[in-house]
Amino acid sequence: AQKITQTQPGMFVQEKEAVTLDCTYDTSDQSYGLFWYKQPSSGEMIFLIYQGSYDEQNATEGRYSLNFQKARKSANLVISASQLGDSAMYFCAMREGRVGTGNQFYFGTGTSLTVIP
Amino acid sequence: GAGVSQSPRYKVAKRGQDVALRCDPISGHVSLFWYQQALGQGPEFLTYFQNEAQLDKSGLPSDRFFAERPEGSVSTLKIQRTQQEDSAVYLCASSLRLAGETDTQYFGPGTRLTVL
């Protein structure tokens, strides 16, 4: 089974509008972290936002917020007031907390976001 | 430098050649990771170091892949006798703390390897 599932290969959003990028995850661990990264065409993975499994509040970082629904195992990224520079690939990732798991990140297949002027 | 750096940014190799990819993590970061990203896919884990110790190499696709971090800072990923299926972007990431904690990984710009 896939650890991270991103079901939207591509999304379009009008400039200044909000957009939600979907992410579901699969783990049996109680402790884990969820991350979103942005990858522009230059290739670098840019960290956007983090949500810990024990965090009761949804994480927010500027225009980014994470809609964390633990029971549904979903961690959707919401980008408010989209800008042209937001056009990029977006990856959801999970890191399991058990010692000995290697602490690797499991990534989804990504969502390509295009902001339309 | 402030971030993770990788070199070279681009590498073209003929099939059968050996290549070495370098990663300079953020200063003071204990953990270092290598990932392979095929075109149109998310990164996939290759190997993980805690300081100079390679604690997990379960993602290395074959014994042609070898990674080291002898002094606990700079790391090198070596691919011997390259094959066309090795063509991908190789990403390096580092994180501040030790294994077992869910802290953020910071990525370098990657090395795009093309095997002809």
Given a cut of 80, whether residue A68 has pLDDT beyond it is: yes
Given a cut of 60, whether residue A31 has pLDDT beyond it is: yes
Stretches where chain B sits below pLDDT 50 are none
Please state the rounded mean pLDDT for residues A93-108. Answer: 76
User: Does B43 contact A45 at a Cβ distance shorter than 8 Å?
Assistant: yes
pLDDT value of position B67: 97
pLDDT value of position A72: 96
**How far apart are the C-alpha atoms of B50 and A51, rounded to whole Å?**
23
Beta bridge partners of B109: none
Please state the rounded mean pLDDT for residues A36-46. Answer: 92
User: Does A4 contact B42 at a Cβ distance shorter than 8 Å?
Assistant: yes
Instruction: Label residue A42 by pLDDT band (50, 70, 90).
Output: confident
pLDDT value of position B96: 86
pLDDT value of position A29: 85
pLDDT value of position A100: 53
- Coil, strand, or helix at residue B76? strand
Beta bridge partners of A60: A65
pLDDT value of position A101: 55
Please state the rounded mean pLDDT for residues A50-73. Answer: 94
Query: Taking all residues of chain A, what is their mean pLDDT, rounded to a whole number?
Result: 92
pLDDT value of position B102: 58
User: Does B42 contact A97 at a Cβ distance shorter than 8 Å?
Assistant: no
Instruction: Give me A48's structure tokens.
Output: 């956007």
pLDDT value of position A99: 55
Task: List the 51-90 stretch of B: residues with Cβ below 8 A of A.
Answer: 55-56, 58-59, 89
Sign for the pseudo-dihedral over CA of B54, B58, B63, B67:
negative
Residues of chain A contacting residue B42, judged by C-beta atoms under 8 Å apart: 4, 91, 93, 107-110
Q: Are A116 and A16 in contact (CB under 8 A)?
A: no
User: Does A47 contact B102 at a Cβ distance shorter than 8 Å?
Assistant: no
Q: Are A95 and A27 in contact (CB under 8 A)?
A: no
pLDDT value of position B70: 95
Q: Are A65 and A55 in contact (CB under 8 A)?
A: no
**Residue B94: alpha-carbon gap to chain centroid:** 10
